[in-house]
Amino acid sequence: MNFKQQALDYHEFPTPGKLSVTSSKPCDTSTDLALAYSPGVAEPVLAIAENPDNVWRYTNKGNLIAVITDGTAILGLGNLGPLASKPVMEGKAVLFKRFADIDVFDIEVNAPSIESFIETVVNIAPTFGGINLEDIAAPHCFVIEKALRERLDIPVFHDDQHGTAVIICAGLINALHVQGKRLQDARIVLLGAGAAGTASLNLLLAMGADLNKVLVVDKAGVLYKGMPNLAAHHEPFAAETSARTLADAMMGADAFIGVSAARLVTPEMIRSMADRPVVFALANPEPEIHPTLAHSARDDLIMATGRSDYPNQVNNVLGFPFIFRGALDARAKRITQGMQIAAVNALCELAREDVPLEVLNAYGLTSLAFGREYILPKPFDPRLRERVAGAVAAAAKSES
């Protein structure tokens, strides 16, 4: 059976979709029924009406996340609409539950405008302990997230921005460390100035990267000061440089981060980079340069992709379940940059520790150690929940 049919069958059988709702309380007797609904349900209703904080005691709000999209940027597939996004949102829900035991309602919104999308989320927000925005195209995603963060008193997190940023930062810091380099000294090229790229760069700068050593490249070329028709959200990243093309930018660079499209980087560009370079080609499913091609151009590089069939996968599942777990545990009203930095540091530290046998068994490996082919923890590492969620919760409490 080919993979396409296997994937379709997985989603169709034995029951369509990947989610179901199960009760967390018994409902087997007449007493159970009376407690679950009428008349017993009136007691928590009255308790919440008297003190809204009681909703955290008597309902699932404190462990319930909404994964919400308008379907305008589904994976690498583009704007296919809210209905087509539902399998992805269900998949996200599965990951939340599997890795952090967080319950999810997936919500696909058919919104004719940014404003209507925002109002929809605001109106349903009382149900949830947090909002995970997903697969929303830039630049609308920036406007939506900002508005919701200002209007809601629960965490709002756009995973395509900040979740990606956390994993990229952790991986890059560790990769540079393996290569004998430091983030603050590194010359960095970022290809792709959309949601993920912008958030990643902002977090890297907050963690010590030098903006004067960064070149950002989009479809029009290198973002430079005085560039015609430069978008307002790109202006802070415009550089004083004579570089105009990606090839120009790559010359002498210590690190490349690609969050763009397939096959935009050539072996010649890789060869022009500094000694011991780091290459993060994260376009999915086809990276900016294939790992085999990159390694054939240089034998001293560290390579990461978004794919699971090569070492050093940059996978958001290392971040968002545990970031939300920590935020919910701390009952945080925001997911702050400080909480994101705490997650980055926890991931960096965990990858440098000895790998437990159960992780090796999960991946069919006999050994694994921090180095050129292991710069980030594996998703099935059971320590992630305690370490990353714990660090996020501690950061949230210290900021409150």
Cα dist from 332 to 45, 356, 397, whole Å: 24, 31, 8
Predicted TM-score of the model (pTM):
0.94
Q: Where does a domain end: 114, 129, 154?
A: 154
| 61 tagged catalytic | no
Domain that holds residue 314: 159-400
Residues 128 and 200 reside in one and the same domain: no
CA proximity to 231, closest of 241, 244, 240, 218: 218
Q: Which of 4, 18, 92, 374 is catalytic?
A: 92
Residue 206 lies in a domain: yes
Residues 140 and 169 reside in one and the same domain: no
pLDDT confidence of residue 76: 75
Residues 71 and 210 reside in one and the same domain: no
Average pLDDT over residues 86-113: 96
pLDDT confidence of residue 75: 83
> What is the domain-level CATH number for residue 358?
3.40.50.720
Q: How confident is the model at residue 372 (pLDDT cuts 50, 70, 90)?
A: very high
Q: How confident is the model at residue 107 (pLDDT cuts 50, 70, 90)?
A: very high
**Of 142 and 186, the one with more pLDDT:** 186
Tens digit of each residue's pLDDT (9 = 90 or more) over 79-95: 999 999 999 999 999 99
Q: Which of 37, 146, 225, 363 is catalytic?
A: 37
Torsion of CA 175, 176, 178, 179, to 10 degrees: 120
Written as six digits, the tokens of 92 are 């996200």
Residue 367 lies in a domain: yes
**Of the ranges 177-186, 233-242, 270-279, which one carries the lowest mean pLDDT score?**
233-242
Residue 70 lies in a domain: yes
Residues 238 and 118 reside in one and the same domain: no
Cβ neighbours around 315 below 10 Å, total: 19
Residue 324 lies in a domain: yes
Residues 143 and 174 reside in one and the same domain: no
Q: How confident is the model at residue 275 (pLDDT cuts 50, 70, 90)?
A: very high
Percent of the chain past pLDDT 90, that is, above it, reads 93
Residue 357 lies in a domain: yes
Residue 181 lies in a domain: yes
Residue 38 lies in a domain: no
Residues 114 and 260 reside in one and the same domain: no
E strand intervals along the chain: 64-69, 103-108, 130-133, 156-158, 188-191, 214-218, 221-222, 255-258, 278-281, 302-305
| 374 tagged catalytic | no
Written as six digits, the tokens of 333 are 């009203």
Residue 40 lies in a domain: no
Per residue, the 3-state secondary structure of 336-392, as one string, reads CHHHHHHHHHHHHHHHCCCCCHHHHHHCCCCCCCCECCECCCCCCCCHHHHHHHHHH
> What is the domain-level CATH number for residue 137?
3.40.50.10380
Average pLDDT over residues 212-234: 93
Inform me whether the pLDDT recorded for 1 exceeds 90: no
Q: How confident is the model at residue 284 (pLDDT cuts 50, 70, 90)?
A: confident
- When divided into structural domains, the chain yields a total of 2
Residues 237 and 258 reside in one and the same domain: yes
Q: How confident is the model at residue 138 (pLDDT cuts 50, 70, 90)?
A: confident
Tens digit of each residue's pLDDT (9 = 90 or more) over 9-23: 999 999 999 999 999
Written as six digits, the tokens of 384 are 């992630």
Residues 248 and 383 reside in one and the same domain: yes
Average pLDDT over residues 293-301: 97
Residues 232 and 119 reside in one and the same domain: no
Residues 237 and 144 reside in one and the same domain: no
Percent of the chain past pLDDT 70, that is, above it, reads 100
What value does the mean pLDDT of the chain take?
A: 96
Average pLDDT over residues 285-300: 96
Q: Where does a domain end: 106, 131, 154?
A: 154
Average pLDDT over residues 222-237: 92
Residues 163 and 20 reside in one and the same domain: no
Tens digit of each residue's pLDDT (9 = 90 or more) over 148-206: 999 999 999 999 999 999 999 999 999 999 999 999 999 999 999 988 999 999 999 99
Residues 197 and 129 reside in one and the same domain: no
Q: How confident is the model at residue 361 (pLDDT cuts 50, 70, 90)?
A: very high
How many CA within 13 A on the CB side of residue 307?
16
Q: Where does a domain end: 137, 154, 171?
A: 154
Inform me whether the pLDDT recorded for 132 exceeds 90: yes
